[in-house]
């Protein structure tokens, strides 16, 4: 079983009857808040050597932790409010490292306007492990869910796709050929410090019909959205927005469309709302690009300009892939 | 720095200005809920080899995870409602183990009436690591806080103290002498499967003035409560309730008063409410025992029947003790 099978077969039954759990198929859960609001609640775990490199700067690790959680809230259209942090430090962690970690945490709690309201601090004999729970608020019923994609919707993404998977290669010293220092630095930054689209996400409430953030790779995540909505999708590979640095890498488009850690918004909308969505992107200084269409036919197809299928490898990062269990 | 110093020096500043964070000195945080209620939110992390033994049965590990979180909610007087689970599985975890883990999770979600509403499932190259966030509800302003202990209050505990630290010794094959099989089984159960006092905790709202659960050892946790309330305490060692099995172990009382994992309630109350509290204990079938008094003089003193101080070792479990940092 990969983690999706674990969640669906073993954990989802524990969510049955709890409406706000959304069947464990969304980025976050919903619980009632005060006066016409709902809390959007999400939890993410990051492990050294899996989600970040053990030698990454401590402040950037903390900031990435905040940002991947804020990204989930942004995808639901929620206003970030608070976080809880459960942190398992290796017992040999130094005071200097801790101070740098806390400084990064502070910087991004301020950037995104969230308070640290609780958590747990323990030692581990294993790698640094971080679990954050983030709480945001939406007007009741206005959260942008994964399950509302409908045939005929346009498919949109924010920002550019595939930078982070290239940045990971840079971080590992496995630089794609032909990159100058500026491009390397840009890609590395996109891997280490995602830019959650909190302002844009809130502004898309009412315009975006279905939404999620891209964390495990564009096409794999789109497939999750399609399953949650019981629809399919066609993506035009040539329309997927790439950064200048990514274009210079000359990597196969498949690697960019299936690489993880983008933390951009993936959402659907009525074709008639395209101009309004483009205007929202402009307002927040974030590119927004139409890359395809939701279809009745199930599955996700990626096509080139002539409509021919583009071959893709495995869709999306899987933590337990290939174990045969 | 131990974890308390880390939290107070590095993390508490990030809670400043967020009232419901309670300065990160309580078991849980408070956020606004619907119509005259507050959500009580707590997060706890458990690591294999630190909080449980790697060979402990998978279902009991899951149940302990739920229970330590429910215990925090119980200590605040909250009704448990929902949990989120961020779980880091070693990549060699077997399907049989996962099924047993999920079965334990299901059993205790049902026992305590909570739904699993979200979380994250990832792989780790390290030990099994579990982080749970639990949400409970209270009427606004009625949560039992750590910071409300006042000089003259009685100090109460639920259940019996010290069983779990003895159970850990049994689990490690380091049995205290003179124990029969029934006593070993009882103590082992107290370590592996704490009994959070959810019903009693809710019933103590209005009677208990200050409260917390005992997770790091009675005296160390009482010291945390005293610091949060800016008071001190005197505990009469002879009044601390011990199980028959614990008494038969003949362990030094200091080891029982400072051992961890009790997951009993520690609370204070006006002396005039003693009969009402005893009645609540009877109603829920849980022993409740007065063990001392809150004082103006700071610090926690443990005295014997003649009023002489009882020598104690280090107070409470510290994850980073002895590292010199």
pLDDT digits 0-9 by tens, A137-151: 999 999 999 999 999
Q: From first to last of the 325 residues of chain B, give the pLDDT tens digit.
A: 788 888 888 999 999 988 899 989 898 999 999 999 999 999 999 999 999 988 999 999 999 999 999 999 999 999 999 999 999 999 889 999 999 999 999 999 999 999 999 999 999 999 999 999 999 999 999 999 999 999 999 999 999 999 999 999 999 998 888 889 999 999 999 999 999 999 999 999 999 999 999 999 999 999 999 999 999 999 999 999 999 999 988 888 899 999 989 999 999 999 999 999 999 999 999 999 999 999 999 999 999 999 999 988 766 566 665 333 2
B124/chain A closest Cα distance in angstroms: 6
Beta strands per DSSP E along B33-176 = 37-47, 79-90, 115-124, 129-139, 154-158
Contacts of B113 in chain A (CB under 8 A): none
**Binning pLDDT at 50, 70 and 90, where does residue A178 land?**
confident
Fold (CATH) for A3-139? 60s Ribosomal Protein L30; Chain: A; (3.30.1330)
Work out the minimum CA distance from B125 to partner chain A, whole angstroms. Answer: 8
- Over residues A256-262, the mean pLDDT reads 93
Q: B159: alpha, beta or left, given left = phi > 0 and alpha = psi -120 to 50? A: left
Of B51, B123, B320, the CB nearest to A50: B123
- Residue A5 pLDDT > 50: yes
Quote the CA–CA distance of B213 and B291 in Å, as a whole number. 15
* CB–CB contact A319 B92 (8 Å): no
Q: Which CATH number fits domain A146-303: 3.40.50.300, 3.30.70.20, 3.90.650.10, 3.30.70.260?
A: 3.90.650.10
| pLDDT for residue A117 | 97
Query: Which helix (H) or strand (E) element contains residue B13?
Result: none
Residue B127 DSSP class: S
Closest partner residue to B98 (CB to CB) among A6, A105, A115 is: A6
Q: Which residues pair with B85 in a beta bridge?
A: B119, B132
Q: What are the residue ranges spanned by the domains of chain B?
A: 3-139, 146-303
Do A86 and B3 lie within an 8 Å CB cutoff?
A: no
Q: Quick check: A324 pLDDT over 80?
A: no
- d(C-alpha B2, C-alpha A55), whole Å: 23
Q: What is the mean pLDDT of residues A312-325?
A: 56
Quick: pLDDT tens for B73-119: 999 999 999 999 999 999 889 999 999 999 999 999 999 999 999 99
Sheet holding A232-236, edge to edge: A210-213, A265-269, A154-158, A288-295, A232-236, A299-303
Residue A309 CB partners (closer than 8 Å, separation 6+): A301, A302, A303
- Predicted TM-score (pTM) of the model is 0.93
The edge-to-edge listing of strands for the beta sheet with A115-124 is: A29-32, A37-47, A129-139, A79-90, A115-124
Task: Give, as one character, the DSSP assignment of residue B171.
Answer: H
Cα–chain-centroid distance for residue B132?
14
Please tell me which of A141-155, A163-177, A240-254 the model is most confident about, judged by mean pLDDT. Answer: A141-155
Tokens found for residue A217: 């790779």
Element at B101 (helix H, strand E): helix B95-111
């Amino acid at each position: 079983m990969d983690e999706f099978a674990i969640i669906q077969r073993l954990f989802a039954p524990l969510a049955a009857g709890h409406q706000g759990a959304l069947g464990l198929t969304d980025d976050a859960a919903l619980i009632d808040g005060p006066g016409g609001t709902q809390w959007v609640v999400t939890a993410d775990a990051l492990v050294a050597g899996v989600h970040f490199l053990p030698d990454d700067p401590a402040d950037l690790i903390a900031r990435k932790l905040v940002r991947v959680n804020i990204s989930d809230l942004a995808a639901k259209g929620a206003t970030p409010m608070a976080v809880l942090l459960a942190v398992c430090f290796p017992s040999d962690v130094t005071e200097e490292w801790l101070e740098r970690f806390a400084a990064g945490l502070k910087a991004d709690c301020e950037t995104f306007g969230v308070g640290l309201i609780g958590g747990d601090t323990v030692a581990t004999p294993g790698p640094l492990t971080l679990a954050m729970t983030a709480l945001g608020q939406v007007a009741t019923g206005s959260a942008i869910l994964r399950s509302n994609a409908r045939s005929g919707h346009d498919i949109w993404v924010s920002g550019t796709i595939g930078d982070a998977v290239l940045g990971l290669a840079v971080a590992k010293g496995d630089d794609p050929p032909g990159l100058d220092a500026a491009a390397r630095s840009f890609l590395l930054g996109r891997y280490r410090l995602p830019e959650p689209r909190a302002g844009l996400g809130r502004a898309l409430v009412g315009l975006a019909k279905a939404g999620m953030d891209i964390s495990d790779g564009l096409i794999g995540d789109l497939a999750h959205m399609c399953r949650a909505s019981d629809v399919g999708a066609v993506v035009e590979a040539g329309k997927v927005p790439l950064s200048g640095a990514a274009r210079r890498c000359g990597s196969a488009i498949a690697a960019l469309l299936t690489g993880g850690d983008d933390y951009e918004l993936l959402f659907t909308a009525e074709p008639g709302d395209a101009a309004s969505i483009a205007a929202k992107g402009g307002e927040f200084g974030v590119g927004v690009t139409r890359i395809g269409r939701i279809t009745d036919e199930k599955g996700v197809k990626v096509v080139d300009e002539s409509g021919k299928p583009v071959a893709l490898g495995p869709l999306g990062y899987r933590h337990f892939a290939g174990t045969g269990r």
